[in-house]
Amino acid sequence: MPNVNIDIPTQVNELLNRLNAYSYRAYIVGRCVRELITAVNSEGTVDFDIITNADIDRICSIFDIYNVNTENIKKGEVIVTVQGLPVLIAPYRKGQDESGDPVYTDEITEDLKRRDFSFNAIAYNPREGFIDPFGGVACLSEEQGIVCVVEPSTDGENEKNCESSPFKRNPVSILQALGYYSSGGYVISPATRESILLHKDCIKEISSSDLRTELSWVIRGKQVSAVLEEYAEVFTALVPEFAPLADFDLKRPEYGTDALTHTFKSVGYASPILTLRYAALFHSLGKPDCFSEDEEKRGHFHGHAERSWIYTQRIMRRMGFSDDETREVGFLIKNQSMDIASDRRSLKLKLREMPPERLKLLLQFRYADLKARSPDFEGAAMACKRQVDAVNEIVAMKECYTLHQLAVNRYDLMQKGTVRSDEQATAVLERLLDMVIDAPAFNTRQRLLGAAEKIMQNVI
């Protein structure tokens, strides 16, 4: 056993000691132990769980001097709050029966076995130290990666029906394993990888709410490209619309890979903003449908953005994403080929059409797509980054790019007698805005009122 020391709050110790005083065994367990070992949660916001060989009624009576929340007692757990810290306490359980009721056990190992991954199947108390029958502490301290609690055998067809596999028991754990990998702190053991691929079709059984949560964790991770590429079979089982992209030759020299690999690489180059990464994930779905070749055998994909958007809507609605989330992703996909010049004036003109955050997302999206192409496109990708910097600077310096930012408004023009109608006011303000976009220092009340007089004399 590696030499690992962890400290637990006095409130948790108080609860453990009280159970011990009544001759029951008690341990903290699961995620809280993992977080304490790895010290990943330095803000003191660890959620503590305790398991014990006391039954649920006995737990309630032992802690009747505390605030006990029994809302989930039918699930076999209560929450005891001591000195402001809520702690979940439950008897040893080994699963649920067909009606969803908890199945209790006298063996702590049976409780730990149901926890899918070995680093989440560790129990601890200060008296006995670690109870770690599946090597979870070693996985964390020696960086051996994610290991299934029940490593499946590789006995062909029989394994596909192996109910003991955590991935068959709980398909959400497939995405959870990939989420740990994507986060950058873990690798996946070969046996676990084999089991994930063997049970990849179980991923279709995940509820839409769990799917959105866990998939978004994967997509947000810093190792997302590696996860997508290495587990392409899993993501194709989840999103069958990816299948036509696999091995699809784009017939363009700037793409050194097939369409699916390019797609997965672009996700990794995108900033970890979910809207942006989902747009990168789905942006090429329409290319096979819109593919054509010219006389030089060069590939073209006219209309693929709109076609990709159609696929994206179908996928995101199937996964239960909101209409707002779907629209935001759709905006990026539909406008992925929008021409955006690099000069400051052109950027301000684009800012007249859309908010700064949306324009920056679009530029970041283009950066990710270009970065995932050949090195010849490095310059174009970096130009997108410079455009984002320029937009940030325009906003920070409060440079004018909309009518409401002008130092004068239609009321000022009317009051001074420069214009006599709303139509004239609108025309003059538009001209003034063009001037200010070219020369930000011109945006003062005195200068604009003087310019408005000249506009009315010479043009209108």
Q: Are residues 16 and 98 in the same domain?
A: yes
Q: Are residues 409 and 395 in the same domain?
A: no
Pairing of strands 93-96, 48-52: unpaired
Residue 72 in domain: yes
Q: Which is more confident, 292 or 169?
A: 292
**Residue 153, pLDDT score:** 44
Q: Are residues 265 and 233 in the same domain?
A: no
Q: How many CB atoms lie within 10 A of CB 157?
A: 6
- Cα dist from 27 to 20, 88, 311, whole Å: 10, 11, 49
Total structural domains within the chain:
4
Q: Are residues 254 and 392 in the same domain?
A: yes
Distance CA 452, CA 216 (A): 52
Residue 297 in domain: yes
pLDDT digits (tens, 9 = 90+) for 376-386: 999 999 999 99
Q: What are phi and psi of 51, to 5 degrees?
A: -115, 150
**Residue 458, pLDDT score:** 79
Distance CA 204, CA 236 (A): 11
Residue 244 in domain: no
Mean pLDDT computed over 440-460: 89
**Residue 256, pLDDT score:** 83
Q: Is 129 helix (H, G, I), strand (E, B) or coil?
A: strand
Q: Are residues 84 and 210 in the same domain?
A: no
Q: Are residues 303 and 391 in the same domain?
A: yes
Which residues make Cβ contacts (< 8 Å) with residue 213, sequence separation at least 6?
none
Q: Pick from 392, 393, 333: which is nearest to 366 by CA?
A: 333
**Residue 41, pLDDT score:** 54
Q: Are residues 65 and 92 in the same domain?
A: yes
Q: How confident is the model at residue 97 (pLDDT cuts 50, 70, 90)?
A: confident
**Residue 156, pLDDT score:** 45
Distance CA 429, CA 413 (A): 9
Domain's final residue, options 136, 167, 201:
136
Q: How confident is the model at residue 164 (pLDDT cuts 50, 70, 90)?
A: low
Tokens of 410: 């239609």
**Residue 161, pLDDT score:** 46
Burial 283-301 (b: 16+ CB within 10 A, else e): bbbbbbebbeeeeeeebeb
**Residue 324, pLDDT score:** 95
Expressed as residue numbers, the domain containing 35 is: 10-136
Q: Are residues 217 and 196 in the same domain?
A: yes
Residue 225, class by beta-carbon neighbours within 10 Å (0-12 exposed, 13-18 middle, 19+ buried)?
A: buried
Residues 416, 421, 427: CA angle, nearest 5 degrees = 90
Tokens of 422: 């709303």
pLDDT digits (tens, 9 = 90+) for 19-78: 999 999 999 999 999 989 887 654 556 899 999 999 999 999 999 999 999 999 999 999
pLDDT digits (tens, 9 = 90+) for 331-357: 999 999 898 999 999 999 999 999 999
Residues shown for the chain: 460
Share of the chain above pLDDT 70, in %: 93
Q: How confident is the model at residue 409 (pLDDT cuts 50, 70, 90)?
A: very high
The mean predicted confidence, pLDDT, of the chain is 91
pTM: 0.87
Q: Are residues 108 and 205 in the same domain?
A: no
**Residue 166, pLDDT score:** 83
Domain's final residue, options 238, 271, 295:
238
N-terminal to C-terminal alpha carbon distance within the chain: 87
**Residue 451, pLDDT score:** 95
Gyration radius (Cα) of the chain, Å: 30
Residue 447 in domain: yes
Mean pLDDT computed over 120-144: 87
Q: Are residues 79 and 102 in the same domain?
A: yes
Distance CA 198, CA 154 (A): 9
| CATH number of the domain that residue 155 is part of | 1.10.110
Q: 123 has which bridge partners?
A: 29, 131
Which residues make Cβ contacts (< 8 Å) with residue 396, sequence separation at least 6?
none
When mean pLDDT is compared across 30-44, 175-189, 410-424, the lowest value belongs to 30-44
**Residue 154, pLDDT score:** 45
pLDDT digits (tens, 9 = 90+) for 249-283: 999 988 888 999 999 999 999 999 999 999 999 99
| CATH number of the domain that residue 14 is part of | 3.30.460.10
Residue 5 in domain: no
Residue 313 in domain: yes
**DSSP character at residue 68:** E
Q: How confident is the model at residue 173 (pLDDT cuts 50, 70, 90)?
A: very high
**Residue 267, pLDDT score:** 98
Look-up: residue for tokens 């839409």?
A: 208
Mean pLDDT computed over 423-431: 95
When mean pLDDT is compared across 85-99, 232-246, 275-289, the lowest value belongs to 85-99
Q: Are residues 80 and 117 in the same domain?
A: yes
Among 20-24, 37-41, 100-104, 168-172, which range has the highest average pLDDT? 20-24
Domain's final residue, options 194, 209, 238:
238
Q: How confident is the model at residue 100 (pLDDT cuts 50, 70, 90)?
A: confident
* DSSP E strands, 282-363: 292-293, 299-300
Residue 339 in domain: yes
Q: How many CB atoms lie within 10 A of CB 377?
A: 16
**Residue 162, pLDDT score:** 53
Residue 132 in domain: yes
User: How does DSSP assign 360-410, residue by residue?
Assistant: HHHHHHHHHHHHTS-GGGHHHHHHHHHHHHHHHHHHHTT---SGGGSS--H
Q: Are residues 365 and 435 in the same domain?
A: no
Q: How confident is the model at residue 3 (pLDDT cuts 50, 70, 90)?
A: low
Share of the chain above pLDDT 90, in %: 80
